[in-house]
Structure 1
Amino acid sequence: MNHQIISMADLRSLGASIAGNLVTEADHEYDDARSLWNAMIERRPELIIRAGELTDIPLALDFARSHHLPLAVRGGGHNVAGHGTVDRGIVLDLRACNKILVEPSLRQVNTGPGTLLGELDQATSAHGLAVPVGVISRTGIAGLCLGGGFGWLTRAYGLTVDNLLAAQMYTPSGEKVRADAQENPELLWGLRGGGGNFGIVTDFTFNAHPLPETVLAGNLIYRAPHWPGALHALRDWAENLPEAMTVIATVLVPPKEWELGTDTILAVGFVWADPDHQAGTACMERFTELAPPDVQDVAATPWPEWQSSMDDVFPKGVRAYWKNTGFDALNEDTISMLVRKAEELAWPGTAFDIHVMGGAMARPAQDATAFPDRSSEFWINIYGFWKDRAQDAHHVEFIRGFYRDMRTVTHGGEYLNFSSIDAPSAAGFDALAVYGPEKYARLAALKRRYDPHNELRLNHNINVSS
């Protein structure tokens, strides 16, 4: 389909109709407006529509369709694959649509598609509540939720999608649709892990959980000689870990502000989500008895403070490339591989996380949501965050090689929020392989119903239009 050139008259008409504003290449803020968190994603959209109100969404959909231009939807702009932008198309930026309403008596919260995790954390923590979200507070809630949502409360309260009670969205045709347990429940099922394939979500309603004013949280730091012992201890500790304890072990060259030197470390990070800190300390000590840390940094910390503690490690404008997979056992072969890769990782800018899964996120049946895989005991995310373009080839190849090696000891699986793409489009994404035949069939049926022409295709796409 041929794209139409946008005339000045059309721009003036659209600009007069929307509550927000328009940005084109002629505007001085264009480069800032088109930039994403991942600086490796370089796109030059024809037009950026900065929505001022949710009612701007159907206008943007109609404008893109009438001009035969591809539409990218952006919430927080933190997606590593760069789905929130497009060359020579239209970007709909929803960042200003970030209203939050907390209903403490219901233990629920409503939020718009432009909300960042830190904004949500601040609003809910004021009422002693929290929604399970990701670990970087500058991430947008929309993309995180629609893809799943791992974080520091995963074992205690499940994935973000497990806590999505209802959603409202505009379909590509401009129809407003609600999805909850009574109204369009199959659509709610698809939104819980199926990404932005069916419409533009305008409102999310989440279940919120009681959380103490301060959580017991910290990092247990291990130098190279103690990595094998710490990983063996992690394996044993994970077998009987209480659900209140969520653990993410990270291997990286520490940032300067951590004052831990320049040697690669293994940091076993944790959050205890129960108000009984004494019980949390006892749980932590069961691990430290197995593997005494070289450095211990543990404290009762306000939830928003802990949630934002890694933000500066991942500032906007870093170059980023990620790969991930699930696995079921920290056996000898896997531990040996992880230690070997940790020894190879001797530069700042690349790292890997091992998420201890299970707990509340493992309780729902596999088919309860569209989320691809909740059966794995562990999950590894291999990622890079650097600034120098000259480092791209080296760091990307290390991540790819590490991922290939991990596939020899894992069963596979992919968490799409942790997935980069290797081409400007998502054409190489294999939705059938990621979701499996039964979930894919249900997702494909939803796609045919709500977006039969695949107008919302700049995502991890379920393409049934051909």
Structure 2
Amino acid sequence: MAAVHHHDPERDVQQSLQELRGRLQGPLIEPQDPLYEEARAVWNGMVDLRPRAIAKAGAVSDIDVVLDTARRSGLALAVRGGGHNIAGHGTVEGGLVLDLGSLRAVQVDAERRLVTVEPGATLADVDRATAAQGLAVPLGVISGTGVAGLTLGGGVGWLTRTGGLSLDNLEAADIVSAAGEHLHASADENAELFWGLRGGGGNFGVVSSFTFRAHPLPAAPLGGNLFYRQQHWKHALLAFDAWTRDLPDEMNPIISFLVLPPDFGMGDEPWMILGFAWAGDDHQAGLNLVDQLRADAPPDEEEVGPASWLDWQSAMDAVFPKGSRGYWKNVSFSRLDEEVADVVVGFASELAWQGTGIDIHHLEGAFGRVPEEATAFPNRSARYWLNVYGFWRDAAEDERLTAFARKAYALMRPFAEQGEYVNFLGAELGIKEADAARSAYGQDKYQRLVALKDRYDPQNLLRLNHNIPPTQA
């Protein structure tokens, strides 16, 4: 009688991982490895998952090797760039993590103003390389953020009005598709894929290289913060709304409400902080604009002056410590009249603790001139984007602090416009991914993204993201 061979899935996985270890340029870290605890940690401390293995890419070629292993082994695959994702998509329970964090090279072609960036680079890596050449790529506001995830979802920051989103400054991307195809995506080549990469996240493949267009940056840009105590918030918001009606593109303001960390020396009351970065060479022109606002809404405290770009871009890093627990919600809107100001002041006034903030980004400018259909980003017409972000250490606070973010979001919903910004979306339990993606992108863009998913990842191998499920899923 012939022997019966029992198929042993666990042995197959072990064999796949053994083969992977032999093919990888970088290390493969498994649970018994002393580096495992550190390697599995992601930025959001609420996300506490134990992958079967973490492949730390030592070269771009490792992307192919890991994708191949994930396809053949059936292990769920998570792709991690800078690891700063609020929804915790850079890890997976019992699956395989492709960690690109060691691939951080940045090359600057100053003459052509082109910047080529590897997929594990952070904002700080790019800023260091470009500022030295008098250039900047519009990126985010926290220097530890990964460029890859930020760009593929959007990229709102201190130069959004001057230069648009990070994805608006993407000239080209090299991508390894889920099936292992090596593709170059730009306006001239694989143009539809290029459209979807700019806003559609990591749904279609793993980007191995980004090429950005950079903008001239003054040697010491003018930056500042105007601080307002609670009794002046409403008046300052209304003055801000009037001030932003005809701002030049060089002025990039962001309002924040928060209790600042102790080392800021601002006590334990919540402040409204009107921060701005002036990207023009003429400091006096920027100061004159600030004087107009100051005359209408005199701040209680202020700091205004030239700053090094690297210092400015990392000034708020301490507010978002790695390993914090986190939950965010966001809403786009265009009205900031008495009614809306009252609502904002109402929930912002409840911030009696350090560890939750509310930002209002003023958009328009270069961001608003990009045609709605040019990229997969969901909304170009909103004047403002509000983000409520919680970050805390104690798990006992999870319920209270996620509830606050949800409440603020619910109160802003009556004024909301279409679309949500996927980089500000936490993991929403109990909401089907397709529904979350459809409401984030809107029906037309969602359908276009599904068609791309069908073409480049019909098996949904790359599903640990704000997922756009393929038709057959």
- Normalised by the shorter chain, which TM-score bucket? over 0.9
1:47 counterpart = 2:46 = no
Q: Separation in 2 of the partners of 1:348 and 1:5?
A: 49
Q: Which residue of 1 aligns with 2:330?
A: 324
Q: Which residue of 1 aligns with 2:43?
A: 37
1:441 counterpart = 2:452 = no
Determine if contact 1:128/1:211 at 8 Å carries over to the other structure. yes
Determine if contact 2:104/2:117 at 8 Å carries over to the other structure. yes
Name the Cα RMSD after superposition. 1.4
The one of 396, 406, 413 aligned to 1:407: 413
SS in 2 for 1:316: coil
Q: Which residue of 2 aligns with 1:375?
A: 381
The structure-2 alpha-carbon separation of the partners of 1:436 and 1:412, relative to structure 1 and needing over 3 Å to count, comes to: closer
- Which residue identity is paired with 1:267? I
The one of 205, 225, 237 aligned to 1:231: 237
Q: Which residue of 2 aligns with 1:138?
A: 144
Q: How does 1:215-364 map to 2 (within 5 A)?
A: 215-364=221-370
Q: CA deviation at 1:172?
A: 1.1
Q: Separation in 2 of the partners of 1:437 and 1:4?
A: 41
Determine if contact 1:425/1:458 at 8 Å carries over to the other structure. no
Q: Separation in 1 of the partners of 2:9 and 2:293?
A: 59
Determine if contact 2:13/2:73 at 8 Å carries over to the other structure. no
Q: Separation in 2 of the partners of 1:51 and 1:423?
A: 31
Q: CA deviation at 1:278?
A: 0.6
Give ranges in structure 1 of 5+ residues lacking alignment.
Answer: none
SS in 2 for 1:421: coil
* CA deviation profile, 1:96-124 (whole Å, cap 9, x unmatched): 11111100010010011000000100000
* CA deviation profile, 1:151-191 (whole Å, cap 9, x unmatched): 00000000001000000010111110111121111111111
* CA deviation profile, 1:360-384 (whole Å, cap 9, x unmatched): 0000110011111111011100010
Q: CA deviation at 1:7?
A: 5.3
SS in 2 for 1:432: helix
Q: Which residue of 1 aligns with 2:114?
A: 108
Determine if contact 2:256/2:273 at 8 Å carries over to the other structure. yes
Determine if contact 1:429/1:460 at 8 Å carries over to the other structure. no
The one of 77, 82, 101 aligned to 1:76: 82
Q: Separation in 2 of the partners of 1:283 and 1:255?
A: 29
Q: CA deviation at 1:9?
A: 4.5
1:454 counterpart = 2:460 = yes
* CA deviation profile, 1:321-357 (whole Å, cap 9, x unmatched): 0000000110111100111112211111111001111
Q: Separation in 2 of the partners of 1:190 and 1:374?
A: 16
Q: Separation in 1 of the partners of 2:231 and 2:377?
A: 38
Determine if contact 1:426/1:459 at 8 Å carries over to the other structure. no
Q: Separation in 1 of the partners of 2:235 and 2:157?
A: 25
Q: Separation in 2 of the partners of 1:80 and 1:377?
A: 24
Q: CA deviation at 1:50?
A: 0.3
Q: Separation in 1 of the partners of 2:187 and 2:16?
A: 41
The structure-2 alpha-carbon separation of the partners of 1:425 and 1:456, relative to structure 1 and needing over 3 Å to count, comes to: farther
Q: CA deviation at 1:4?
A: 4.4
More displaced stretch, 47-56 vs 409-418: 409-418
Q: TM-score, normalised by structure 2?
A: 0.96
Q: TM-score, normalised by structure 1?
A: 0.97
Q: How does 1:94-173 map to 2 (within 5 A)?
A: 94-173=100-179
Q: Separation in 1 of the partners of 2:371 and 2:10?
A: 47
Q: CA deviation at 1:439?
A: 1.4
Q: Separation in 1 of the partners of 2:50 and 2:239?
A: 49
SS in 1 for 2:199: coil
Q: Which residue of 1 aligns with 2:4?
A: none
Q: Separation in 1 of the partners of 2:222 and 2:467?
A: 39
Q: Which residue of 2 aligns with 1:392?
A: 398
Q: Separation in 2 of the partners of 1:258 and 1:3?
A: 55
SS in 2 for 1:317: coil
SS in 2 for 1:407: helix
Q: CA deviation at 1:429?
A: 4.6
Q: How does 1:55-74 map to 2 (within 5 A)?
A: 55-74=61-80
Q: CA deviation at 1:408?
A: 1.9
Give the aligned length. Answer: 465
Determine if contact 2:140/2:150 at 8 Å carries over to the other structure. yes
Give ranges in structure 2 of 5+ residues lacking alignment.
Answer: 1-7
* CA deviation profile, 1:1-23 (whole Å, cap 9, x unmatched): x9645555543332121110000
Q: CA deviation at 1:93?
A: 0.1
Q: Separation in 1 of the partners of 2:119 and 2:431?
A: 23
Identity %: 49
Q: Which residue of 2 aligns with 1:208?
A: 214
Q: CA deviation at 1:73?
A: 0.1
- Which residue identity is paired with 1:446? L
